[in-house]
A and B are shown apart, each in its own frame.
Chain A
Amino acid sequence: MTDFVLFDEEFQQIKEVIGRLKADAQAKVVFIVDKNGQQIAAQGDLESLDTTSLASLTAGNVAATDGLAKLIGEKEFPVLFHEGEKDNVYIAIVDQRVILVIIFDERSSLGLVRLRVRKATQDLERVFVAIQRKVEEEKERRQEGIDSPFAEITDEDIDSLFRE
């Protein structure tokens, strides 16, 4: 299975897209998680948020909902919405691979978020297609004998991680 690789150029592009989405949708926080629960990028007021836990729970939530969709014969539920007393969470699947999460309060609205997400999703899809292309190019280069930076990891490197 291919690893998911994120390069600096695309990371900046992703941050730019979700930063713009955060402003346009008047959201508190916008972040992107891969379907395995790894956080890719985040924008907004992150100080008070445990984004690692959020990423893992979001992915769990999406995975459970995906399972539910398949049980009733749907391909997926591309959008999930959780309404709270103060804060709401809007979750959208991008390119069937990554998850876009928007946290917003009464300063915004579901309609506005939905509208802005549609535009941002298209931009993000373009970036993820570019990442995929780059990963494949990288793989070809490796087959031509150019090694990955991890090819030289030694036993000593790994053992040193576990020293007290």
Chain B
Amino acid sequence: MTFINYAAREINCKIVYYGPGLCGKTTNLQYIYDRTNPAAKGKLISLATETDRTLFFDFLPLDLGTVRGFKTRFHLYTVPGQVFYDASRKLILKGVDGVVFVADSQEARMDANAESLQNLEKNLRDHGFDLATIPYVLQLNKRDLPTAIPADEMYRQLNYKGEPTFEATAPTGIGVFDTLKAVAKQVLMELRKK
């Protein structure tokens, strides 16, 4: 749900990074935070456990610039990936404008990817959203690992609706900004229809 503030001339949008545990959602946000001009970003907040696993969410506010005289602000969130945090994960999807699904390329994680994607579809539905129509990007992360399965094989298994798909290695930033741009673009395009 985009928040259009005519008084402050701002558009605020919410993007959620979803995916199985340890797939690199927080790493995506960390890279974006590290590489963004200080004037264009707020604090990166991580509600994590002592072992750095996301407990509730990570949050990063970003200013992208001005469109048609309106400042565009994106609030990026990650969800906790571990299966048993489903109640918290669902809360983060409230009012979402766009979703990035971060998939783990390792063969051993393919079942976890599929399970998480199903969970995303269900949790969106519970909030009244449809994965088939919401702005959505697929990121194939950890492409640098020797155990990564071929990208086209992953795409075959995880592609939902022909969404834009990017290969990524989040710690070095490969594919990170391409993913963000693709989802932000879809969210702004949606505004045009409203």
Q: Could you list which residues of chain A lie within 8 angstroms of chain B, going by C-beta atoms?
A: 1-8, 10-12, 34-38, 40, 50, 52-53, 56-57, 60, 63-64, 66-67, 148-153, 157-158, 160-162
Q: Cβ of A35: which chain B residues have Cβ within 8 Å of it?
A: 94-95
Q: Does B57 contact A (CB under 8 A)?
A: yes
Q: Which of A3, A10, A60, A150 contacts B1 (CB 8 A)?
A: A3
Residue in A7, A38, A50, A53 whose CB lies within 8 Å of B3 = A38
User: B83 within 8 Å of A by Cβ?
Assistant: no
Q: Which of B42-50, B100-108, B142-150, B154-162 contacts A (4 or more CB under 8 A)?
A: B42-50
With contact pairs A148-B194, A149-B68, A150-B191 given, residues A60 and B6 touching in the complex (Cβ less than 8 Å): no
User: Interface with A: B22-30, B59-67, B113-121, which one?
Assistant: B59-67
Task: Map CB proximity to A onto B33-55 as digits: 1 under 8 Å, 0 otherwise.
Answer: 00000000011010100000000
Are B68 and A60 within 8 A (Cβ)? no
Q: In the complex, which of the residues B45, B129, B189 contacts A56, with contact meaning CB atoms closer than 8 Å?
A: B45
Residues of A within 8 A of B128 (CB): 1
- The one of B14, B61, B194 that contacts A150, using a Cβ cutoff of 8 Å: B194
A162 B181 Cβ-Cβ under 8 A: yes
B188 touches A158 (CB 8 A): yes
A3 touches B6 (CB 8 A): no
Return B52 CB to nearest CB of chain A, in Å. 18
Residues of chain B lying within 8 A (CB to CB) of residue A56: 45, 59, 61, 75
Asked whether A36 lies within 8 Å of B14 as measured between CB atoms, the reply is: yes
- Write out the residue numbers on chain B whose beta carbons fall within 8 Å of the beta carbon of A158: 67, 184-185, 188-189
Contact B1 A36 (CB under 8 A): yes
Which are the 10 A-B pairs with shortest beta-carbon distances?
A36-B95, A11-B7, A63-B91, A150-B191, A8-B7, A38-B3, A161-B65, A3-B2, A6-B5, A161-B64
- Complex contact B59–A3 (CB within 8 A): no
> In the complex, A66→B7 CA distance in Å?
30
Give, as a whole number of angstroms, the nearest-CB distance from B68 to chain A.
6
The answer to whether A152 touches B68, judged by C-beta atoms less than 8 angstroms apart, is yes
Contact B192 A151 (CB under 8 A): yes
Whether A3 touches B3, Cβ cut-off 8 Å, given contacts A37-B14, A153-B67, is yes
